[in-house]
Homo-oligomer: A and B are copies of this chain.
């Protein structure tokens, strides 16, 4: 039923393994929750919404294909559809057909969306620093960046 694996595969996690693994879970939960609360209180945005605006703001012509956004904000396509619906309702984003591909859509930042992004961006950056980066030394940040780069190297 289960495929045979390396000998130690099912053995208890060592102290080192536990610290590396559970530490990430706790750190991630702690930081993302703090950011969520902050973003909601100060700008009435979820972090996911903010990130959509962020990626659109960085994109050429302030627009991106739906699937492209979904991939970047770590959301399913259906999840992004609904999130985008809300952003359209709020007037931060518009949808337009992709020329050359009748299936595709662009989401494009409106002026109001760009203004919202500008307002939220400072908060978010400060939050990432307050809740995460400032607890780390420069060497820690380098080490983390290096680790994640290698970890994520194969997509």
Given contacts A135-B150, A151-B136, A152-B30, contact A145 B13 (CB under 8 A): no
A21 to B133, CA, bound (A): 8
Binds B, one of A78-86, A89-97, A103-111, A120-128: A120-128
Query: Chain A 24-45 against B: per-residue CB contact (8 Å), 1 yes, 0 no?
Result: 1111111010000000001000
A10 x B126 contact (CB < 8 A): yes
Q: Is the interface of A mostly helix, strand, loop or mixed?
A: helix
Given contacts A13-B128, A27-B152, A135-B150, contact A144 B74 (CB under 8 A): no
Copies in the complex: 2
Chain B residues, Cβ within 8 Å of A74: 25-26, 29
B21 x A24 contact (CB < 8 A): no
Write the chain B residue with the least CB distance to A42: B2
A148 x B24 contact (CB < 8 A): yes
Name the interface residues of A115-145: CB closer than 8 Å to any CB of B: 121-123, 125-126, 128-130, 132-133, 135-136, 138, 140-145
24 contacts between A and B (CB under 8 A): A8-B129, A9-B125, A10-B123, A10-B125, A10-B126, A13-B125, A16-B138, A16-B141, A16-B142, A17-B133, A19-B145, A19-B149, A20-B148, A23-B145, A23-B147, A23-B152, A24-B27, A24-B144, A26-B74, A26-B152, A27-B152, A28-B28, A135-B150, A143-B143
